[in-house]
């Protein structure tokens, strides 16, 4: 059988720095676990613009469509701020998401014990927290027509349209139920069916998909405003949360920050199943290119490392190896190894990006 294939797009800023640490881990899996990937590496974002004049070359796009998974670092930076909108680094990432049709965005909020004091919330609220927000990523108010700023009488009016089809709701619901079966077997769907037609349809369709295809999974519904409150009040009541594009944007940032630093947060964006039964997939840290610390060896590589762990779990069916990698991260944190973003006490010394990567490999 052919080796599983992985396209690595380090991108800009700290992207290449954190990705170098993931390469060490990939090499470790090859040497120690017989898990050998066909890895190819290419350019995205400003790095691609510098060479090709576009933030994602057609050949790179084609490669992304063929591989089992894409792992991306980060795109953008001040050097590219003045570029025309059509060639901005971020457009490279948007093109990947759009053409791969990655409609299901997974953002875990997980609290590592060693960092339980790090959050601004009380320890008992977040200790042991492990939840997953599934955000619909390719439809809703971000794309609905009509949209624009129009003139009505003697004033302007800004219009956006929240629009969801049944099939768009059903596919992201399936993605959440599938996920729940591999976790705590519980889904909470969030919308505002009390004030929005799209919310009524959302609730209906999620319930229908549940009753027909996933009756074994526990399903509840919640208004998104209550959901926001519950997330902060007692987040451990949730396992998987599924919600639309706009509510998901807000709720996933909120959930992510329950646990601490941007440098810790991975994500996955999944699309339709491919021939091998696994979804099209792109994995990336939640953080951006962090131009303020780029090139200084200060970046925390854990978000990117955990993104690779998600790839092991969701694209390569190597859940045990994903656990192994997450446990290594846990151990390193328990041992007190800290990059600068994770420092909480004066007197602690920070390790470099590379030292953090080495410590994870050793663990
Ligand atoms: P984008 O617009 O690309 O999402 P952003 O403006 O939201 O980017 P980031 O690039 O994510 O911002 O950086 C926000 C802050 O968090 C910066 O101060 C940055 O240094 C810090 N930061 C981000 N990622 C990391 C990391 N992996 N390790 C340490 N600090 C980080
Ligand atoms: Mg940002």
Residue 345: per-residue pLDDT: 73
Residue 117: per-residue pLDDT: 78
- Binding-site residues for NAD(+): 77-90, 288-300
In a 13 Å sphere around the CA of 27, the CA atoms on its Cβ side amount to: 11
- Give dist(CA 134, CA 243) in Å, integer: 6
Q: CA angle at residue 273 from 4 to 76, to 5 degrees?
A: 70
Write the burial class of residue 35 (CB in 10 Å: 0-12 exposed, 13-18 middle, 19+ buried).
Answer: middle
Residue 118: per-residue pLDDT: 73
Torsion of CA 139, 282, 132, 197, to 10 degrees: 10
Residue 199: per-residue pLDDT: 98
> For residue 281, how far is its CA from the centre of ligand 2 (angstroms)?
21
Is the beta carbon of 73 within 6 A of some atom in ligand 1? no
State CA 363 to chain mean position distance. Answer: 24
Residue 243: per-residue pLDDT: 98
Contact predicate 72/102, CB 8 Å:
no
DSSP structure string for 66-98: HSSEEEEEE---GGGTTS-GGG-HHHHHHHHHH
Residue 253: per-residue pLDDT: 86
Strand partners, 8: 41, 71
Residue 167: per-residue pLDDT: 98
Residue 79: per-residue pLDDT: 95
In a 13 Å sphere around the CA of 181, the CA atoms on its Cβ side amount to: 11
Q: What is the SS3 assignment for 19?
A: helix
Is the beta carbon of 21 within 6 A of some atom in ligand 1? no
Q: CA angle at residue 282 from 280 to 288, to 5 degrees?
A: 165
List per-block mean pLDDT (blocks of 10 residues) for the chain, which spans 363 residues: 94 98 98 96 98 98 98 97 94 94 95 81 86 96 93 97 98 97 97 98 98 98 97 96 96 84 92 92 96 97 98 95 97 95 82 98 98
Q: Are strands 148-152 and 155-159 parallel, antiparallel or unpaired?
A: antiparallel
Nearest to 175 by CA among 250, 96, 102, 68: 102
Is the beta carbon of 174 within 6 A of some atom in ligand 1? no
Stated pTM of the model:
0.93
Let me know if 192 is a catalytic residue. yes
| Residue nearest ligand 1's atom 17 by CA | 290
Residue 360: per-residue pLDDT: 98
Let me know if 117 is a catalytic residue. no
- Give dist(CA 123, CA 112) in Å, integer: 11
Residue 2: per-residue pLDDT: 87
Residue 5: per-residue pLDDT: 97
Length of the chain: 363
Residue 208: per-residue pLDDT: 98
Residue 90: per-residue pLDDT: 94
Q: Measuring CA to CA, how many Å separate 253 from each of 103, 146, 293, 330?
A: 18, 27, 22, 22
């Amino acid at each position: 059988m052919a080796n599983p294939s992985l396209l690595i797009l380090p991108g800009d800023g700290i992207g290449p720095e954190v990705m170098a640490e993931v390469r060490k881990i990939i090499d470790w899996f090859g040497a120690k676990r017989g898990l050998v990937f066909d890895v190819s590496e290419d350019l995205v974002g400003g790095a691609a613009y510098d060479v090709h004049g576009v933030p994602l070359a057609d050949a790179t796009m084609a490669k992304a469509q063929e591989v089992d998974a894409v792992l991306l670092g980060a795109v953008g930076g001040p050097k590219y701020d003045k570029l025309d909108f059509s060639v901005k680094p971020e457009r490279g990432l948007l093109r990947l998401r759009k053409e791969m049709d990655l409609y299901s965005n997974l953002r875990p909020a997980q609290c590592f014990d060693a960092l339980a004091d790090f959050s601004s919330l009380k320890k008992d609220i977040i200790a042991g927290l492990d939840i997953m927000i599934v955000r619909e990523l390719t439809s809703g108010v971000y794309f609905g027509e009509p949209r624009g700023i129009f003139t009505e009488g003697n004033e302007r009016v800004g219009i956006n349209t929240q629009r969801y089809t049944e099939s768009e709701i059903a596919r992201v619901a399936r993605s959440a139920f599938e996920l729940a079966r591999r976790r705590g077997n519980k889904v909470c769907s969030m919308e505002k069916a009390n004030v929005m037609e799209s919310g009524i349809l959302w609730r209906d369709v999620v319930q229908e998909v549940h009753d027909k295809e996933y009756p074994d999974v526990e399903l509840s519904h919640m208004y998104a405003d209550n959901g926001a409150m519950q997330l902060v009040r007692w987040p451990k009541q949730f396992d998987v949360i599924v919600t639309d594009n706009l509510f998901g944007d807000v709720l996933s940032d909120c959930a992510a920050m329950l646990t601490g630093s941007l440098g810790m947060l991975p994500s996955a964006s999944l699309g339709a199943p491919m021939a091998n039964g696994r979804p099209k997939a792109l994995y990336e840290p939640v953080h951006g290119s962090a131009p303020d610390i780029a090139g200084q060896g200060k970046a925390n590589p854990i978000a990117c490392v955990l993104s690779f762990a998600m790839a092991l779990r969701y694209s390569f069916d190597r859940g045990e190896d994903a656990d192994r990698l997450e446990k290594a991260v846990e151990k390193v944190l328990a041992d007190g190894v800290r990059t600068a973003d994770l420092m909480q006490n004066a007197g602690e010394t920070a390790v470099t990006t590379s030292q953090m990567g080495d410590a994870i490999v050793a663990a």
